[in-house]
Structure 1
Amino acid sequence: MTIKNLNDLYLDQLRDLYSACKQSMAIVTEMGRAAKSKELSEALIAGSQGISEGMDVLASLCNEHGVDPTGEHCRGMEGLVVEARKHALEADFADEDAQDAAIITQYQRMAHYAIAGYGCARTFANRLGHEGDGARLQECLDQTWDGDRHMTEIAEGEVNKAAMDGV
């Protein structure tokens, strides 16, 4: 797709975000199953559901603008998924609590990527006069921020302290 203007860039970003969400959903679910902390596991499963809901919004927006949401592959999220698998699931952990801390780290890296994407897409939508799109993207952005903040609370409240044992 040749990007000729802000509208083309907006649609490209929606498709890229859709791809990012699709790629991250599976690894977030895997990390949820691997987490030792019940609170962390539940938060990751909820996060996976939130990602799915975001995908529904993105697909709907793409369809409303006449583009296929599946027409893009997000290489940025592809790299983050590889890193999450390597550093949170496949690393050799002697301590499950340290693994939980690694899982949070990798989740938050992916969430911050999504935050940047949703924020840019929302700004483009609003500039283009698509306020309805902007409002829906803002909801996705808010939900992603909430998930990120919840992970910080889990890390600071339970996981990082438990991972300190034996230091």
Structure 2
Amino acid sequence: MTMNTLKDLYIDQLKDLYSACKQSMSVVTEMGRVAQSRELAEALIAGNEGISRGMEALASLCNEHGEDPTGEHCKGMEGLVTEARKHALQADFGDDAVRDAAIITQYQRLTHYAIAGYGCLRSFANRLELDGDGAVLQDCLERTRDGDVHMTQLAEGGINKAAAQA
């Protein structure tokens, strides 16, 4: 697709972020299965629910613009998912708290990609005077940021301390 207008770029990035979210769900599920902290496992389940809601919002926005959200493959998220598997799932850990700290690290990297995507999309929507789209994307951005803050609280609230004592 040729990007001739900001609207073209906006639609392209909606699809890219949809792909990113779709790719991240499997690794978040996997990390949730191996997390030893109950609170972390619950946060990852909630994270996947948030990712799913974001995908629904992105699909709805694409459909409203006559576009199919599928077909794009986000190479950036592909790399982040590969890194998450390598550093949080496939690495050897001698301590469960250290693995949990690694899981938080990788989850937050995935989340920060989504935060950047939602923020850019919201700015594009606002510039294009797509106020309804902007509001939907702002909500997705806030929910994603809230999940990121919660992970930081888990890390600083005890997981990193336990990992440091390993």
Counterpart of 2:131? 131
Cα drift, residue 41 of structure 1: 0.3
User: Is 1:5 aligned with 2:5?
Assistant: yes
Q: Tell me the amino acid that sits aligned with residue 93 of structure 2.
A: F
Cα drift, residue 10 of structure 1: 0.2
Q: Tell me the amino acid that sits aligned with residue 66 of structure 2.
A: G
Cα drift, residue 164 of structure 1: 1.2
Counterpart of 2:58? 58
Cα drift, residue 71 of structure 1: 2.1
User: Is 1:122 aligned with 2:122?
Assistant: yes
CA distance in 2 between partners of 1:99 and 1:9 (Å): 38
Q: Tell me the amino acid that sits aligned with residue 41 of structure 2.
A: S
Counterpart of 1:20? 20
CA distance in 2 between partners of 1:73 and 1:128 (Å): 25
Cα drift, residue 165 of structure 1: 1.3
CA distance in 2 between partners of 1:20 and 1:112 (Å): 12
Q: Tell me the amino acid that sits aligned with residue 39 of structure 1.
A: E
Counterpart of 2:149? 149
Number of aligned positions between the proteins: 166
Q: Tell me the amino acid that sits aligned with residue 47 of structure 1.
A: G
Q: Counterpart of 1:2 in 2: which secondary structure?
A: coil
CA distance in 1 between partners of 2:80 and 2:71 (Å): 20
CA distance in 2 between partners of 1:25 and 1:142 (Å): 19
Cα drift, residue 66 of structure 1: 0.7
CA distance in 1 between partners of 2:71 and 2:87 (Å): 29
Counterpart of 1:42? 42
Counterpart of 1:165? 165
- What is the aligned-residue RMSD (CA, Å)? 0.5
Q: Tell me the amino acid that sits aligned with residue 31 of structure 1.
A: M
CA distance in 1 between partners of 2:149 and 2:16 (Å): 24
CA distance in 2 between partners of 1:159 and 1:81 (Å): 22
CA distance in 1 between partners of 2:76 and 2:36 (Å): 28
Q: Counterpart of 1:92 in 2: which secondary structure?
A: coil
Cα drift, residue 158 of structure 1: 1.3
Counterpart of 1:71? 71
Counterpart of 2:111? 111
Q: Tell me the amino acid that sits aligned with residue 27 of structure 2.
A: I
Find runs of 4+ consecutive structure 1 residues off by over 4 angstroms. none
Q: TM-score, normalised by structure 2?
A: 0.99
CA distance in 1 between partners of 2:61 and 2:93 (Å): 42
